């Protein structure tokens, strides 16, 4: 896998009616890697995506796709892009196969062999000649993914691709997306409000707030060692642990401490010796949602999470 980015956002900014919507955004996307794009409602996700696909011109900065600027070499750079925006529109009176043939005409040199290849990649061989009107939402999403892959894009951008899918459909879509990212070595950019799904689907996450990139991290590095202690009296236990140098926070009816597993027995022993009652000790994994709340200020994103 090459290390050069497929997509680069360089000092990307957008001002609308004197309000700065996107503020000096820098981000690189790499082949074979799925990057999740998260942010509160109104943070600038949609504006960023529109600039990335040429639907909106940046006030300053640029989008580079496979070495070409979207501003100065639009046709060449946009030809490297595939996209799905929420539920893709298809001709329901036509079969899935005829839909793909129709969309293939919009690109150069998409062969019948390529159409058959993307059908296999999204696992639709058995239903592809049936009318789209008979497809479930999950199948229409898979057909949309096949359509986005017809021109062998180097960059695949997905805006809320699992919107409306049931858990089985989400899991199925995730399976095919990860498979395609690996097989096609394509850089995938996924904007979604489903934090738990982003955590399972993506290799890393980029978090935007008030038009600025506030975090960029690997998903597999998001897990931290935290332990929940249900104790009494809580405040006395907190004082003891804080004095020992642990990061401690109140959590439900107990305490959450940041500690390595091997020190937990000595922590328990210390608390028992200090007459603290211990009712439970549980390993507590900080989820992506926990961290997202911390990074973006908690209450500002309730609507985004529960959307």
- Output the 3-class SS for 47-88: HHHHHHCCCCCCCEEEEEECCEECCCCHHHHHCCEEEEECCC
Is residue 302 very low, low, confident or very high in pLDDT (cuts 50, 70, 90)?
very low
Q: Report pLDDT for 262.
A: 82
Q: What are the tokens at 280?
A: 């439970």
Is residue 294 very low, low, confident or very high in pLDDT (cuts 50, 70, 90)?
low
pLDDT digit string (tens) for 61-115? Answer: 999 999 899 989 988 888 889 888 766 778 899 999 999 999 998 888 889 999 9
Averaged pLDDT of the chain:
84
- Whether the per-residue pLDDT at 2 is higher than 70: the answer is no
Q: Report pLDDT for 214.
A: 85
Question: Is-above-0.75 flag for pTM?
Answer: no
Is residue 1 very low, low, confident or very high in pLDDT (cuts 50, 70, 90)?
very low
Q: Which residues of 95-107 are buried (b: 16+ CB within 10 A; e: fewer)?
A: bbbbbbeebbeee
CA 60 to CA 21: how far, in whole Å? 12
Instruction: Tell me which residue of 108, 212, 101, 204 sits closest to 146, measured CA to CA.
Output: 101
pLDDT digit string (tens) for 207-216? Answer: 888 888 887 8
- Whether the per-residue pLDDT at 288 is higher than 80: the answer is no
Q: Report pLDDT for 30.
A: 93
- φ and ψ of 45, to 5 deg: -60, -50
Q: What are the tokens at 181?
A: 């990212």
Helix (H) or strand (E) holding 268: helix 264-273
Q: Report pLDDT for 62.
A: 92
Residues 119/146, Cβ–Cβ less than 8 Å: yes
Is residue 260 very low, low, confident or very high in pLDDT (cuts 50, 70, 90)?
confident
Domains within the chain, CATH numbers bracketed: 7-220 (3.40.50.300), 225-285 (3.30.70.100)
Q: Report pLDDT for 307.
A: 33
| Residue 39 exposed, middle or buried by CB count within 10 Å (0-12, 13-18, 19+) | buried
Q: Which residues sit opposite 62 in a β-bridge?
A: 10
Percentages (nearest 5) of helix, strand, coil residues in the chain? 40, 30, 30
The owner of tokens 């943070």 is 43
Please, how many CA atoms are within 13 Å of residue 110, restricted to the half-sphere of its CB?
22
Mean pLDDT of 151-177: 85
Q: Report pLDDT for 300.
A: 46
Check whether the bond before 118 is cis (ω within 30° of 0): no
Mean pLDDT of 29-58: 88
Residues 229/257, Cβ–Cβ less than 8 Å: yes
């Amino acid at each position: 896998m090459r290390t050069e980015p497929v997509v680069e956002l360089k000092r990307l900014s957008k001002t609308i009616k004197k309000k700065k919507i996107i503020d000096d955004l820098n981000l690189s996307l790499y082949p074979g890697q799925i990057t999740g794009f998260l942010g509160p409602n109104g943070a600038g996700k949609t504006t960023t995506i529109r600039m990335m696909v040429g639907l909106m011109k940046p006030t300053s900065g640029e989008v580079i796709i496979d070495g070409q600027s979207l501003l100065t070499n639009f046709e060449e750079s946009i030809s490297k892009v595939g996209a799905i925006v929420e539920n893709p529109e298809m001709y329901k009176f036509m079969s899935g196969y005829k839909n793909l043939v129709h969309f293939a005409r919009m690109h150069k040199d998409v062969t019948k062999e390529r159409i058959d290849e993307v059908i296999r990649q999204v696992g639709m061989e058995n239903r592809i000649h049936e009318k789209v009107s008979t497809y479930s939402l999950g199948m229409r999403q898979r057909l949309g993914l096949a359509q986005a892959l017809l021109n062998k894009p180097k960059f695949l951008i997905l805006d809320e691709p699992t919107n409306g899918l049931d858990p089985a459909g989400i899991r199925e879509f995730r399976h095919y997306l990860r498979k395609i990212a690996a097989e096609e070595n394509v850089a995938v950019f996924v904007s979604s409000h489903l934090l738990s799904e982003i955590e399972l689907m993506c290799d890393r996450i980029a978090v935007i707030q008030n038009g600025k990139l506030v975090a960029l991290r690997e998903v597999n590095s998001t897990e931290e060692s935290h332990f929940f202690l249900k104790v009494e009296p809580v405040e006395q236990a907190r004082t003891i642990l804080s004095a020992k140098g642990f990061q401690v926070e109140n959590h439900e009816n107990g305490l959450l401490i940041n500690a390595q597993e091997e020190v937990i027995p000595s922590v328990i022993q210390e608390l028992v010796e200090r007459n603290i009652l211990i009712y439970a000790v549980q390993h507590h994994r900080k989820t992506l949602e926990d961290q997202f709340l911390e990074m973006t200020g908690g209450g500002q994103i309730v609507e985004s999470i529960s959307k």
